[in-house]
Homo-oligomer: A and B are copies of this chain.
Amino acid sequence: MTAATNHQWRLAHRPEGMIKTSDFNLVAEPVPELADGQVLIRNIYLSLDPAMRGWLIDRPSYVPPVQIGEIMRGLAVGMVESSRHPKFEKGDTVQGLFGWQEYLVSNGEGVTKLPSSPLPLSANLGLFGLAGMTSYFGLLDVGQPKEGETLVVSGAAGSVGSLVGQIGKIKGMRAVGIAGTDEKCDWLVDGLGFDAAINYKNGDLRGQLKAACPNGVDVYFENVGGEILDVVLSVMNSFGRVVVCGLISQYNATDKVPGPYNFAMVISKRLRIQGFIAPDYGPRVKEMITDFSTWYMDGKLKYRVDVVHGLDAAPTAINKLFDGSNQGKLIVQVSEV
């Protein structure tokens, strides 16, 4: 293995606005020899997630920012190539924050062995990964949905939104998605069983929402922010819940972004607006795996991956999350399964 080269994307400087390839340096390092207690992991799939844009900003948050010169942080699925660690052996499939690189030498900390599964390996990012955790605990734990209520989800064709709507349906809700193309909307309704889907680019979002939600909106699962949040607030029912998962419309903003102009409705409608992050639910992950496995086998839960090939493509591919061009969970394939 000493002859192998490990290509890595290291942060060159902090991006302004959208991420550019030149914000990173592509570095080649030799893969080091394993010491006792270490394991060599070959990355297969990298997960690209909106939250990663926040990790590049130098400010206090739930995780420290990626530092200049560091390998870009990212969730990945990989395979053990060789092991001098008692808990891992060659051929194990593993998951963790392995970063934007081809290989990782680890002492095993933060490396999770994946159970064998009839699903493809990419399902660990597309269904059971962060997107799964986010949709499952965000809707069920934060949103506290009740049968017969109306759910609206923005970014509905994304990896999280598409699962949220399906979970809502499984729980007996009316599920309405907001997305940015007619093709995505068709997929939500015809492919995933949403009750309705709205293309916000077709205009009159409020009118479209009122038509799609004749009983108002009880739970809003927010991935986008900005004007869409304001419009949904205006059609929410009293005692509604706004699950704030993401605000992707503002992650690349270079100026201060105002909060919702309809914020005062929080009082008159007695709304609960609550943010969360999926890693907080780590100790409860088995609840999701159990339910998702059942629902998937019963044909009630579908997912889609959008695979970009090659580590080289990572810094450009991530912008698909922000320009709306990805369809399903965005993944970079670094090496063959």
Contacts and interface: CB of A to CB of B under 8 A. Distances in A.
Contacts of A257: 261, 263-264
A297 to B, nearest CB: 32
Interface residues of A, number: 33
Contacts of A54: 268
Contacts of A262: 259
Given A244-B267, A257-B261, A259-B261, A273 B276 contact: no
Given A238-B62, A247-B264, A264-B250, A280 B274 contact: no
Counting from the closest, the 4 A-B pairs by CB-CB distance are: A259-B259, A258-B258, A259-B263, A266-B275
A271 interface: yes
A266 B49 CA distance: 18
A274 B277 contact: no
Contacts of A276: 267, 270
B270 A273 contact: no
A268 B259 contact: no
A260 interface: yes
Contact of A272 (B258, B259, B274): B274
Given A271-B274, A277-B268, A280-B270, A260 B261 contact: no
Nearest to A262: B259
11 contacts: A62-B270, A245-B267, A246-B267, A257-B263, A257-B264, A266-B273, A267-B276, A270-B275, A271-B275, A272-B272, A273-B274
A269 B273 contact: no
A263 B244 CA distance: 10
A263 B242 CA distance: 13
